């Protein structure tokens, strides 16, 4: 069987502040190749360039990556403020319907950081623009200085629901993770199960209740040194297993029934 093809959602980027491009972090591709056992494929984050039906027929799974721009608050019925930061409406217009399409068909996906937030919004949820401004919350943002290793260092525990989906995959109810995000879940979307929390009560692990496939989202960045980190190994490994199961049971059959 050929390796599963993994659509890694790219981000719009200006090279040298002038040349438009779509980029994807190398660590995402390495995690997909080395841990999930997949073939990484960077997807331009613009529905004017890629068709959702073409994507789901081409790929066996998707990674909804992190990114500096945030989901536009109009997607969950709120007005934009300075606290919401930058936006990428083209990515919103691709990822939100693609997530709903995958939830319906059972096509596997792993949603990371911004992707985690996209998953919640796609299912009707809302977001806080800045977690660190909430009473009792810690600063979850990336440290502004230091090396890559220091920025991605493990900074807090995540506690999973005993007997829940994440505890089953991890073989533990508490794991240690990095944290590099500003926004977070305010109201969870329909069928979204919050399965893990940071010590300050910030949701960190979710999935879609009753979905026929792998629909996991995490607020941290498991792609960093995924082949070495035991938590990342289990998460990307389970994602790879889900894609191979999707392949073996017939992609066309799944899509036809969705």
DSSP state of 33: I
The pairing of strands 109-112 and 61-64 is parallel
Q: Could you tell me how far CA 248 lies from the centroid of its own chain?
A: 24
Q: Find the catalytic residue in 84, 102, 113, 165.
A: 113
Annotation says 113 is catalytic = yes
Taking alpha carbons only, the member of 192, 218, 230 closest to residue 110 is 218
The pairing of strands 203-208 and 215-218 is antiparallel
| Cα 9 to Cα 176: distance, rounded to the nearest angstrom | 26
Taking alpha carbons only, the member of 132, 114, 146, 96 closest to residue 220 is 114
| Cα 154 to Cα 138: distance, rounded to the nearest angstrom | 14
Structural contact between residues 170 and 231, judged by C-beta atoms closer than 8 angstroms: yes
Taking alpha carbons only, the member of 158, 194, 191 closest to residue 173 is 158
- Give catalytic residues, as residue numbers: 113, 221, 223
């Amino acid at each position: 069987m050929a390796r599963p093809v993994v659509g890694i959602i790219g981000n719009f980027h200006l090279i040298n502040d002038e040349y438009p491009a779509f980029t994807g972090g190398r660590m995402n591709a390495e995690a997909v190749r080395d841990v999930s056992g997949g073939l990484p494929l960077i997807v331009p984050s613009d529905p004017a360039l890629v068709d959702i039906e073409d994507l789901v027929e081409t790929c066996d799974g998707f990674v909804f990556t992190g990114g500096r721009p945030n989901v536009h608050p109009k997607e969950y019925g709120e007005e934009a403020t300075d606290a919401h930061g930058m936006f990428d409406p083209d990515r919103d217009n691709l990822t939100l319907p693609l997530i709903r399409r995958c939830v319906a068909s059972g096509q596997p996906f792993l949603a990371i950081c911004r992707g985690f937030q996209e998953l919640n919004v796609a299912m009707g949820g809302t977001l806080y623009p800045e977690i660190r401004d909430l009473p009792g919350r810690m600063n979850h943002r990336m440290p502004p200085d230091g090396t890559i290793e220091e920025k991605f260092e493990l900074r807090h525990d995540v506690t999973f629901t005993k007997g829940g989906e994440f505890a089953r995959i991890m073989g533990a109810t508490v794991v240690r993770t990095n944290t590099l995000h500003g926004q977070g879940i305010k109201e969870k979307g329909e069928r979204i199960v919050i399965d893990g929390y940071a010590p300050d009560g910030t949701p960190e692990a979710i999935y879609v209740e009753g979905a026929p496939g792998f629909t996991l989202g995490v607020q941290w960045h498991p792609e960093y040194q995924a082949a070495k980190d035991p938590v990342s190994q289990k998460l990307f490994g389970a994602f790879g297993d889900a894609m191979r199961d999707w392949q073996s049971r017939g992609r066309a059959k799944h899509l036809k029934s969705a």
